[in-house]
Amino acid sequence: MSTPAVLVDRVDDVLTITLNRPERRNALNPQLLDDFDAAFAAVDDEVRVVVLQGAGKAFSSGHDLSWNPEEELDDPTDEAALAAITERLHEITRRIRGCPVPVVARVHGYAVGGGAEIALSADLVVASDTATFRFTETAVGLVVTNGFTALLPRTAGPVVAKEIIMLGEPFGGVQAKAWGLVNRVVPDAGLDAEVARIVGILREKSPHALLLAKSLLDQAWEGSAEEVMRRETLASVRACLHPDVREAAAAFSEKRAPRFSPVAPAGAR
């Protein structure tokens, strides 16, 4: 049996998904993409947080240059088939955004191209101060995918986004935080502790409230201010009708930690 390209580990209510091609700095190939997609099937109604990380010395070095998807096609000019390849990459973002619980990326070493897109698609990103991000697509004749031609301008601003994508120069964790792309930057030695601290905070929150917040935030670039407020109204009604609101009030009154309800997995909602 071949070694899994993605490892899935469950400890209590925390699911850790590890990109597992350390000999290739976790470069993306068909097996890794398939295994990554399948890994999210392990998110059941007891999981509170998902952690994404890379094995070995890097998070992910991006597209494996030994894999040429066009060579797999009967007709390399078939536009529908070429589009399907890109859509396969887009499933990365869809899985992360569609995950019903918060996804935290633990980033060390290189996070390049598609690897950067995986890391920065997470809800919260904790990076080592020695992490290196880079979008190299234009250097090899490709374009940025996974929604980042929209995400980067909205997060870092259009001027910075063009610099990141068009120049393709590497930038570190400190610069990524300055641009608003990551949440925390810590020394290598403190990376695990900071990830654990953030995971611990998320585990104390209402899973249902986090689900609603994630959904609202992921739609933030869609529609007018009135449409945003309409979505907030609908979410507020759902929140108020959920048992977690009454449980939080009871826990406060009884001076104890709340016992929140689990959230249903994506496929069951």
pLDDT digits (tens, 9 = 90+) for 199-237: 999 999 999 999 999 999 999 888 899 999 999 999 999
pLDDT at residue 269 greater than cutoff 70: no
| Mean pLDDT, rounded, of the chain | 93
pLDDT at residue 82 greater than cutoff 90: no
Q: What is the pLDDT of residue 266?
A: 53
How distant, in Å, are the alpha carbons of 17, 111, 161, 262 from that of 150?
A: 26, 19, 9, 32
Distance CA(237)–CA(243), nearest Å, equals 12
pLDDT at residue 74 greater than cutoff 90: no
Q: What is the pLDDT of residue 267?
A: 43
pLDDT at residue 39 greater than cutoff 50: yes
Q: What is the pLDDT of residue 6?
A: 97
Q: What is the pLDDT of residue 263?
A: 79
Q: What is the pLDDT of residue 104?
A: 98
pTM of the model: 0.93
CB distance 236 to 252 below 8 Å: no
Residue type present at position 241: L
Q: What is the pLDDT of residue 68?
A: 75
Domain boundaries, the chain: 6-203, 207-268
The set of catalytic residues is 137
Q: What is the pLDDT of residue 236?
A: 96
Instruction: Match domain 207-268 to its CATH number in 3.10.20.30, 3.90.550.10, 1.10.12.10, 3.30.479.10.
Output: 1.10.12.10
CATH 3.90.226.10 describes domain 6-203:
yes
Distance CA(27)–CA(20), nearest Å, equals 9
Q: What is the pLDDT of residue 66?
A: 79
Cα 34 vs. chain centroid, distance in angstroms?
16
The band of 3, judged by pLDDT with boundaries at 50, 70 and 90, is confident
pLDDT at residue 110 greater than cutoff 60: yes
pLDDT at residue 132 greater than cutoff 80: yes
Q: What is the pLDDT of residue 150?
A: 92
Over residues 188-197, mean pLDDT: 98
pLDDT at residue 155 greater than cutoff 70: yes
Q: What is the pLDDT of residue 264?
A: 63
The band of 260, judged by pLDDT with boundaries at 50, 70 and 90, is very high
Query: Among 161, 134, 167, which residue's Cα sits nearest to residue 148?
Result: 161
pLDDT at residue 73 greater than cutoff 80: no
Q: What is the CA radius of gyration of the chain?
A: 19
Over residues 26-36, mean pLDDT: 93
pLDDT at residue 178 greater than cutoff 70: yes
pLDDT at residue 238 greater than cutoff 90: yes
